[in-house]
Amino acid sequence: SLALSPRNALTLLFSSYRNLLARKQSARLDKHSDLGWKLFGKAPLRENAQKDSKRIQKEYEDKAGRPSKPPSPKQNVRKNLDFEPLSTTALILEDRPANLPAKPAEEAQKHRQQYEEMVVQAKKRELKEAQRRKKQLEERCRVEESIGNAVLTWNNEILPNWETMWCSRKVRDLWWQGIPPSVRGKVWSLAIGNELNITHELFDICLARAKERWRSLSTGGSEVENEDAGFSAADREASLELIKLDISRTFPNLCIFQQGGPYHDMLHSILGAYTCYRPDVGYVQGMSFIAAVLILNLDTADAFIAFSNLLNKPCQMAFFRVDHGLMLTYFAAFEVFFEENLPKLFAHFKKNNLTPDIYLIDWIFTLYSKSLPLDLACRIWDVFCRDGEEFLFRTALGILKLFEDILTKMDFIHMAQFLTRLPEDLPAEELFASIATIQMQSRNKKWAQVLTALQKDSREMEKGSPSLRH
């Protein structure tokens, strides 16, 4: 016999083990005989199985009306599919490995039947999803066609004849349906008007003055301009800081008004110019949302003109100048129509001591632009520009009516939280349907008549009570 050194014996043993391991691995890759299940195909699929999965995918695409496409390299990841993951392609009926016992014929038939049932269910899901997508597409096309027709009507018929047509029944109906975004800014400007006779030149003057004030404050200057003689440097600096803070919180999800955003400077310019144009009002929290909505629909100078005239309306001026007496009168008028339209909810609010100021102030200050989705808020603005301040309070009643069933089951805390943070997915059509049911008439008196009567009563009370005058 040949004697082997320990080193040679170890080498021979390692080589034999490596050859044996290679043969076993080759046998596992080459042999797949019996039926079995393989999840997501972690091992290479048989050619027939690949062809079957392609055939099944083509059947689904033909059923859903989609053209057949070559399989993507990332198909197994299944992230970019238009439909739900399908068990027909995610779970493939595979041969059982050779090292496992063969399945009984009865069990194999049962598994194949289960597999075919999954295929049928997957086809049903696909067909249902395709029908849903088709319905969505048809609705989108209908809406786009409606908007296109409305744009033609506004541009060709209404805007050229604004003075004679704006109050017609046809135009009022179109207004209620929502003004097309492409003409919204022009319609808002015409509806708001320019009673203050502000020009682009005046805006440039106010903006230049604001920039000079910013430079003065940044360098520590304390010069007091003649126009601001009644306002301290501390007041002006506080107003400037509040503008900076509020801009950062204006539509934060859009990321267009914050520092570095495309509309940051425009918003800063309008708010700064307004504090110079109306130093008696200055900047009040909430103004940034109103200015931002106008910027999205108008050029900077036109947005400033609309902004200044809008804030000069009686209701906005009462709130932004924090005229407590007049604000209470507006709340009282609102409650008259609240009780008239929603007596059950009104009694529930009274029982829980939930007063209108808790939820109305934020809605009125920002004209719903902070409380509602932006596209819905713009539709509220559309009709507000048509009907005036009355529609702001009618909208509030519409919101309360829409959620009446929910609110009547809540206590004070939950009602206040709900109304100050309305659902983000509030459907526009449902809200406008709710608003349409609100009647702004109480005992044969309309909003303006009720408000005027309450203002008169308030003045008489002030005259009769020395304590109220002070």
DSSP three-state, residue 293: helix
Q: Taking residues 445-458, what's their average pLDDT?
A: 93
**Which of 247, 277, 308 is the last residue in one of the domains?**
308
User: Are 296 and 391 within one domain?
Assistant: no
pLDDT at 89: 45
Check whether 7 has a pLDDT greater than 90.
no
pLDDT at 396: 97
pLDDT at 140: 87
Check whether 42 has a pLDDT greater than 50.
no
Establish if 97 belongs to a structural domain: no
**What is the domain-level CATH number for residue 245?**
1.10.8.270
Percentage of the chain exceeding pLDDT 90:
57
User: Are 436 and 336 within one domain?
Assistant: yes
User: Are 409 and 290 within one domain?
Assistant: no
Confidence of residue 468 (pLDDT cuts 50, 70, 90): very low
Tens digits of per-residue pLDDT, 247-290? 999 999 999 999 999 999 999 999 999 999 999 898 998 999 99
Q: Which of 38-52, 176-190, 427-441 has the lowest mean pLDDT?
A: 38-52
Confidence of residue 457 (pLDDT cuts 50, 70, 90): confident
Q: Which of 67-76, 172-181, 335-344 has the lowest mean pLDDT?
A: 67-76
User: Are 280 and 389 within one domain?
Assistant: no
Which domain range does residue 439 map to? 313-465
The answer to whether the CB of 65 falls within 8 A of the CB of 33 is no
Residue 361 burial (CB < 10 Å; 0-12/13-18/19+)?
A: middle
Average pLDDT over the chain reads: 82
DSSP three-state, residue 34: strand
- Give one word for 61, left, alpha or beta, with left for phi > 0 and alpha for psi -120 to 50: alpha
Query: What is the DSSP code string of 194-233?
Result: -TT---HHHHHHHHHHHHHHHHHHHTT-----GGGTTS-H
User: Are 271 and 363 within one domain?
Assistant: no
Tens digits of per-residue pLDDT, 172-192? 999 999 999 999 999 999 999
Buried b (16+ CB within 10 A) or exposed e, 279-312: bebbbbebbbbbbbbbbbbbebbbbbbbbbbbbb
User: Are 375 and 410 within one domain?
Assistant: yes
Check whether 228 has a pLDDT greater than 60.
no
User: Are 329 and 461 within one domain?
Assistant: yes
Check whether 226 has a pLDDT greater than 70.
no
**In 31-76, which residue ranges form alpha helices assigned H by DSSP?**
47-64
Give the tokens for residue 211: 């920039």
Q: Return the bridge partners of 36, or none.
A: 94
Confidence of residue 309 (pLDDT cuts 50, 70, 90): very high
Check whether 331 has a pLDDT greater than 90.
yes
Q: Taking residues 15-32, what's their average pLDDT?
A: 54
pLDDT at 469: 45
What is the number of structural domains in the chain? Answer: 2
For the chain, how far is it from start to end, CA to CA, in angstroms?
126
Establish if 94 belongs to a structural domain: no
User: Are 381 and 451 within one domain?
Assistant: yes
pLDDT at 24: 53
pLDDT at 95: 64
CA distance linking residue 164 with residue 129, whole number of Å: 49
User: Are 295 and 320 within one domain?
Assistant: no
DSSP three-state, residue 66: coil
Buried b (16+ CB within 10 A) or exposed e, 114-146: ebeebbeebbeebeeebeeeeeeeeeeeeeeee
Check whether 2 has a pLDDT greater than 70.
no
Establish if 212 belongs to a structural domain: yes
pLDDT at 142: 85
Establish if 301 belongs to a structural domain: yes
**In 219-299, which residue ranges form alpha helices assigned H by DSSP?**
233-248, 264-277, 287-295
Confidence of residue 327 (pLDDT cuts 50, 70, 90): very high
pLDDT at 235: 61
The answer to whether the CB of 293 falls within 8 A of the CB of 378 is yes
- Give one word for 47, left, alpha or beta, with left for phi > 0 and alpha for psi -120 to 50: alpha
Q: What is the CA radius of gyration of the chain?
A: 35
User: Are 271 and 356 within one domain?
Assistant: no
Check whether 18 has a pLDDT greater than 80.
no
CA distances from 2 to 8, 9, 14, 417 (A): 12, 11, 19, 94
pLDDT at 418: 96
CA distance linking residue 151 with residue 184, whole number of Å: 10
Q: Taking residues 62-82, what's their average pLDDT?
A: 47
Tens digits of per-residue pLDDT, 355-414? 999 999 999 999 999 999 999 999 999 999 999 999 999 999 999 999 999 999 999 999
User: Are 454 and 330 within one domain?
Assistant: yes
pLDDT at 74: 42
Check whether 159 has a pLDDT greater than 50.
yes
Confidence of residue 96 (pLDDT cuts 50, 70, 90): confident
Tens digits of per-residue pLDDT, 97-110? 778 888 788 888 88
Check whether 92 has a pLDDT greater than 80.
no
pLDDT at 459: 84
The phi and psi torsions of 57 (rounded to 5 degrees) equal -60, -40
Check whether 26 has a pLDDT greater than 70.
no
The phi and psi torsions of 39 (rounded to 5 degrees) equal -90, 120
DSSP state, residue 69: -
User: Are 321 and 356 within one domain?
Assistant: yes
Establish if 82 belongs to a structural domain: no
The phi and psi torsions of 352 (rounded to 5 degrees) equal -95, 5
Please state the pTM of the whole predicted model.
Answer: 0.70
pLDDT at 106: 85
